[in-house]
Structure 1
Amino acid sequence: MRYKRFEDLPVWNDAIELAVQVYALTSRPEFKGHWSLKDQIERAAVSVSNNIAEGFERGTNNELLAFLYISRGSAGETRSMLCLLERIPVFRSLGKEIKIIKPKAESCSRQLKGWIQALQDSEFKGERHVNQRTSVLIERHKSAKSFLRNLLKSELRQQRQQRTKAEF
């Protein structure tokens, strides 16, 4: 499926939900006096969706990949911060909320990993947005690949037939 807007991407929507959940968590009184922890986890959580959006709006797969890696790193940073909060005594009362948020961060990481892998495995490496020129190039590439595959099959068939004749 091709998405035209980053707002339609499931991973972006999950990343937004992650940020909303983190902001709800950091609004709790336990964060009073812990400004740096609050700021760090909020910035990490917001960075997940923002980097997906920025990469999506860029023109090439390489640029998109770079931002998806940053986004995935931010999801990992968010998870790491949640793990840290679980171990700091003043935040232990938030354990239930943290256990709800961590799987959302993990889900974002998994989705980003899958998308990154799909982009890396793609034969189409240039501009992301297919236009008339790029669709002609893609079609030519597919046609050439199919021709070479059929040629190879034909040659292998001929070689097998020649071996069979030579054996008799």
Structure 2
Amino acid sequence: MDFEKLDVWKKSSAMSVEMYLHLAALKDFGFKDQITRSALSIPSNIAEGMERDSSKERIKFLGYAKGSCGELRTQLYIGMKIGYIDGPFGSSAVQETRQISSMLAGLINRIKNDALI
């Protein structure tokens, strides 16, 4: 399956773009670099995993994407608490990470079940 057709890849790519745009003016380059790397890592690992030949490798990279999703959610919470990320954007982004994480879990389970056939 082409990763570009996956809704989870589309959703996480769009979120990564939003994160870059929202934080473009942030002067704390360390924080900005870390949070944008987390956001970029999600669709990147989905793409890398889906380009792999084995189900085991696909699952491994989708697991990395899921982990990056949790990392991003943590950074969003911290960013809101320290005033780098405004509440409405942050709350919406947190909800997006929850949806993406759930979608990744579903995709991982689907691949696991397909591998048993």
Same fold by TM-score greater than 0.5: yes
Instruction: Give, in whole Å, the separation in 2 of the partners of 1:11 and 1:51.
Output: 11
Provide the alpha-carbon RMSD of the alignment. 1.5
| Structure 2 match to 1:133 | none
**1:113 has 2:105 as partner:** yes
TM-score where L is the length of structure 2: 0.92
Query: Deviations 1:124-144 (Å, cap 9, x if unpaired)?
Result: 25xxxxxxxxxxxx6xxxxxx
| Structure 2 match to 1:69 | 63
Instruction: Give, in whole Å, the separation in 2 of the partners of 1:107 and 1:18.
Output: 11
TM-score where L is the length of structure 1: 0.65
Using CA pairs under 8 Å that are at least 6 residues apart, name the structure with larger relative contact order, 1 or 2. 2
| Structure 1 match to 2:5 | 8
Q: What secondary structure is seen at the aligned counterpart in 2 of 1:59?
A: coil
Instruction: Give, in whole Å, the separation in 1 of the partners of 2:38 and 2:80.
Output: 17
Instruction: Give, in whole Å, the separation in 1 of the partners of 2:97 and 2:43.
Output: 11
| Structure 1 match to 2:91 | 99
Which runs of 5 or more residues in structure 1 are unaligned? Answer: 126-137, 139-168
Return the match for 2:21 from 8, 14, 24. Answer: 24
Instruction: Give, in whole Å, the separation in 1 of the partners of 2:41 and 2:79.
Output: 19
Which runs of 5 or more residues in structure 2 are unaligned? Answer: none
